[in-house]
Amino acid sequence: MSNSPPNLTRIKTVIRAKTGVIIDDKNEYLIGSRLGILLEENNLSSFDELADVLAGPQDSPIFKKFLERITTHETRFFRDESTFAALVEQMIPEWMERNRSFGGASRPLNIWCAAGSTGQEAYSIAMLIHSKFPQIFPSLNLVSTDISETCVERASAGFFTDYEMNRGVSDELRAKFFVRVSDKGYNISSEIRSKVEFKQQNLLVTPYAGKFDIVFCRNVLIYFDLAVRKQILEGFQRVILPDGFLVLGATESPTGLLDSYVVRQFGLTRYYEINSTNITFAPAQMR
Ligand SMILES: C[S@@+](CC[C@H](N)C(=O)[O-])C[C@H]1O[C@@H](n2cnc3c(N)ncnc32)[C@H](O)[C@@H]1O
């Protein structure tokens, strides 16, 4: 083998085409550290060869492992707590108010966690709504999707290690919604588990199905370039109901990428009202 650095152009192109994830010069090391094992395990001699294999069938074990390894799954219960405060103090009360004014008090609340990783985000929402809005909980529709099948399987299993529990679950919620099942961790209660539908979904594949009052898409757009972010945000715009909400990660924003939204604020937390029926001047003037 030559000692010159491998040419990573083709594998980077495949990574972007299949996942949206951008590998630039600064994080090129991720290719070796995360995908190097796939070369060893599959007797491939270069990342170009791996790129050829990954351009093939997407249901192969190597493709699944590639998705699993190249994406970042970091999450935790009640990540960015102020976002959840905004949900219960502002978004849901407003949704209830609007719903009442349209005479539809029993309409289900539809929430989608796009790129929900191993389920902590959706389960946090379900536990909060159960606790704070028990009247809404029975008709809540909550979907969580992720590109990674392994994440979806883990989320569906509803098992969390002590380490994961210690990242965000209060003693009160632990007692109310979890059952210890081994010396390693807990199962979430069947009432909360059965409230969330977990599905595998690649956000690059549009249009999206369904209609939602609130879409959470947090801490994933940062991995994509502007064109992919725009495509995804436009996809959300088509499935978010009038005056519905979009919740992004703390460092993410639709500015310059989406044309119909109003910035909403709760403390330091920002979220976005999409397809607003209240727009009286253009979004660009509102920032
Ligand atoms: C850093 S985690 C964020 C999880 C959660 N939203 C949160 O904020 O805690 C990002 C998730 O996005 C998923 N992901 C990456 N690319 C994706 C794509 N193209 N379509 C859907 N999910 C994707 C990853 O598998 C990962 O689980």
- Residue 287 confidence (pLDDT): 39
154 lines ligand 1 (CB under 6 A): no
Closest CA to 178 of 135, 130, 141, 137: 130
Is the CB of 96 inside a 6 Å radius of any atom of ligand 1? no
According to the model, what pLDDT value does residue 5 have? 64
Cβ–ligand 1 distance for 121 under 6 Å, the answer yes
User: For position 100, what pLDDT does the model report?
Assistant: 74
Q: Is the CB of 231 under 6 A from ligand 1?
A: no
Distance CA 107, CA 99 (A): 7
CA-nearest of 198, 141, 201, 128 to 168 is 128
pLDDT in tens, the chain (287 residues): 455 667 899 999 999 999 999 999 899 999 999 999 999 999 999 999 999 999 988 889 999 999 999 999 999 999 999 999 999 999 999 999 988 755 545 689 999 999 999 999 999 999 999 999 999 999 999 999 999 999 999 999 999 999 999 999 999 999 999 999 999 999 999 999 999 999 999 999 999 999 999 999 999 999 999 999 999 999 999 999 999 999 999 999 999 999 889 999 999 899 999 998 876 544 444 43
Residue of the nearest CA to atom 2 in ligand 1?
Answer: 73
115 lines ligand 1 (CB under 6 A): yes
Residue nearest atom 12 of ligand 1, based on CA coordinates: 115
Atom from ligand 1 closest to the CA of residue 117: 27
Q: Which fold has domain 9-70?
A: Chemotaxis Receptor Methyltransferase Cher; domain 1 (1.10.155)
What is the Å distance from ligand 1's center to 14 Cα?
A: 18
Q: What is the pLDDT of residue 260?
A: 83
Q: Is 144 in the pocket of ligand 1 (CB under 6 A)?
A: no
Contacts of 131 (CB under 8 A, 6+ apart): 173, 176
Q: What does the pLDDT read at residue 129?
A: 97
Q: How far is the CA of 174 from the centre of ligand 1 (A)?
A: 25
Domain 81-286, CATH among 3.40.50.150, 3.40.50.10860, 3.40.50.920, 3.90.1200.10: 3.40.50.150
Q: Which amino acid residue places its CA nearest to atom 16 of ligand 1?
A: 19
Residue 7 CA, ligand 1 centroid: distance in Å: 27
122, 76 in Cβ contact below 8 A? no
Residue-level pLDDT at 278: 75
Q: Which atom of ligand 1 is closest in space to residue 204's alpha carbon?
A: 19
- With beta carbons less than 8 A apart as the criterion, state whether 152 and 67 touch: no
The pLDDT score that the predictor gives to residue 101 is 57
Report how far residue 225's alpha carbon sits from residue 218's, in angstroms, rounded to the nearest whole number.
15
Domain ranges across the chain: 9-70, 81-286
What is the CA(109)–ligand 1 centre distance, in A? 23
**How high is the pLDDT of residue 281?**
45
- pLDDT attached to residue 284: 46
